[in-house]
Amino acid sequence: MTRSDAVTFLQRTTFGGSTADVDHLISLGTEAWFAEQIAMDTGDTHLNRRLGGDIRFASSLWGHYLGGEHQLRLRYSYALSQIFVASDATVNALHIANYADLLEANCFGTYRQLIETVTRSAAMGEFLTYDRNRREDARRGRVPDENYAREILQLFSIGLWELNLDGSRRLDGSGQPIPAYDQDDILGLARVFTGFITASVSNDPASAVLPMYSVGSFSEAQHETGEKRFLGVVIPASETRTLDESLEVAFDTLDNHPNTAPFISHQLIQRLVTSNPSPAYVQRVAEVFVDDGSGVRGNLAAVLEAVVLDEEAWQPNPPATFGKLREPVLRFTTITRALNVQCDNDRWLISSLSNSATELGQQPYESPSVFNFYRPGYVPPQTPLADAGLVSPEMQIANETTAIGWVNYLAQFLDRPPAWSVAINGVDTLVTTSFEFDDLISIVAMADLTAVAAGELVDELAARLCPGGISATLREVIIRRTREVFDDRYDPDEPEGRRQVDVHRERIAAAVVMLAVSIDFLHEGIQR
C-alpha cells in the first residue's frame, strides 16, 4: 500500500487520517485494520455524556469524529444516518443522542437487525410520527398514520422502482419502470406500525435508552388486529396478534425483498466512494449483501468491505465520472485530522455548525427532512452533469452562501482554534484546541520563505489532503501566494518567539485554505 493509497482509504472509511493513522494502516494492511476497528470499543456513549451534563450532543459528535479512535464505526454509522434519517431539528435531544448510539452499535450487524432497531427507536417514532400511532376506527373516521410506512418503503428499504440486482430499473412490456409499491401497500404496512409508545423522558431521562414499548395497555388496545396486506404478503386478522408478531413479518419481508440489496448497496457506495457507480459495481456489492459468503444476508460489515475494496474503487485511471463532491462535514474533519487536531481533556466543545453563512451549513443529525441534506438522485439542473445523465447528491447544498461560509469558518478555525473555560473536577480550566504540525512549521520557519520551502509545504499538504494529486497550476499559485501574502507581516527586527511562530502558522493556514477551496480537494476521487 502506497501512502497515497492509505490516505485515500482512510478518507473513505474514517473522518480522515492523521499522520499516525496513515502510518498505522500501512503497517497493518487493510485486513488487519478492519479487524482491529470492528473489535474496537466505542467508549462512552453520546447519551451518557448528555445525561451526565458533561457535553451536548453536537459537541459529543464532533469529539468522536475528530478525536475518537473507533473511526470506522463512526464513519459507517454516519453514512447510515444519511440513509436512515432522524433529525435533531424535531426530536428530543436525549432520543437523538441515543439514536446515534444505536447506529454506532449496530452498523456492523445485519440489515435485518438494523431496520428493527431503527424502527423501535424513540427518535424515529417521534421523527416520523408513529409514536402513539392508533389502529383504524371507522366510527370516528380515524386511520393509522402512514408516514413511517411510506418512508420505510421509499427510503429505508426498497425504493420507488423495482430493481435488478445491479441497481438498474426493471421495465415492463412497454419499456416503462415498474413501481415497487403502491398506495395500498402503504396503507397495509401502516397498520403494522400501530401500538407503539415511548417512555416519558421528562419523568425519567435515563429512559431515553429504551426502545418504544410494543407491549402494555396502549399496544394491546391500539395495535391493528385486522388484516394487513403489503408487498404481496398477508397478515391475517387476529384479535390476539401482537405488534411484535406483525413487526416480525414486516421486517422479514423488507429484508428479503429483491430491491433491498441493490437499493442499500448503491447508496452506501455513494456515501463512501463515488456518486455514479457502474451497474457492475453495484451488483458486486449487492451480491455480498445477499450472501456474505457464509450464508448470512445483509451482513453490513461485509458490505462495507465490499464497497471500499471493490476493484472500481481502486481503478488506476478512473474516468471523469468517478468520485464525488466532498460534503462540508467531511471537508472539515478530513483537513483537521490531517493536521493532527487535538483537544485538552477530550472536551471538544464545538457546537452545531449548521449555519450556512458562517459555518459548515451541515451538522450531523440535523437534516431538515427525512430526505437528508441531499437526495441520492439529485441532478444539478442545467449543468454538464445533467446533460451527461449523472447525479451529484452533495451539490444540492452547494451554493454561493455555503461556499463562502465554508472557507470563512475554516480560516477562522485554523487561525483561532476554539478555546473554552470549563469546570473540571470543580476547577475552572481553560480547554484549548490545537494542531500538532511542528514538522510543517519546520519547513516554513524562515523570514524570507523560499520557493523550494513553499513547494515542500504544498507537496506535504497535498499528500495529506489530495491523494490523487494536484494540478501544476494550483501548486504554483499556492506557492506564490504563500510566499507573498505574509512577507510584509514578518518583522525581522522583532525578537524570536510568538510573533514568528504565528507567522509560520499563518503561512500553513493560508496554504491549507487554498487547497480546501480547490477542485482537487473538493472533488473526492479526482486523479491529476
**pLDDT value at residue 187:** 97
**pLDDT value at residue 428:** 87
Distance CA 279, CA 23 (A): 34
Measured between alpha carbons, how far apart are the two ends of the chain, in Å?
19
Write a three-state SS string for 390-457. Answer: CCCHHHHHCCHHHHHHHHHHHHHHHHCCCEEEEEECCEEEEEEEEECCHHHHHHHCCCCCCHHHHHHH
Q: Which residue has the cell 501544476?
A: 472
Written as one letter, the residue type at 154 is Q
Distance CA 337, CA 347 (A): 16
Written as one letter, the residue type at 66 is L
- Phi/psi region, residue 171 (left: phi>0; alpha: psi -120 to 50; beta: rest), is beta
- Its pTM stands at 0.95
267-286 confidence digits (pLDDT tens):
999 999 999 999 999 999 99
Positive/negative CA dihedral, 105, 110, 111, 115: negative
- pLDDT tens series, the chain, 528 aa: 999 999 999 999 999 999 999 999 999 999 999 999 999 988 889 999 888 877 889 999 999 999 999 999 999 999 999 999 999 988 999 999 999 999 999 999 999 999 999 999 999 999 999 999 999 999 999 999 999 999 999 999 999 999 999 999 999 999 999 999 999 999 999 999 999 999 989 889 999 999 999 989 999 999 999 999 999 999 999 999 999 999 999 999 999 999 999 999 999 999 999 999 999 999 999 999 999 999 999 999 999 999 999 999 999 999 999 999 999 999 999 999 999 999 988 888 898 999 999 999 999 999 999 999 999 999 999 999 999 999 999 999 999 999 999 999 999 999 888 888 888 778 888 889 999 988 998 888 776 788 999 999 999 999 999 999 999 999 999 999 998 865 555 555 655 544 555 778 888 999 999 999 999 999 999 999
Question: β-strands 233-235, 228-230: how paired?
Answer: antiparallel
**pLDDT value at residue 346:** 80
**pLDDT value at residue 226:** 95
**pLDDT value at residue 472:** 97
**pLDDT value at residue 429:** 87
**pLDDT value at residue 498:** 46
**pLDDT value at residue 497:** 45
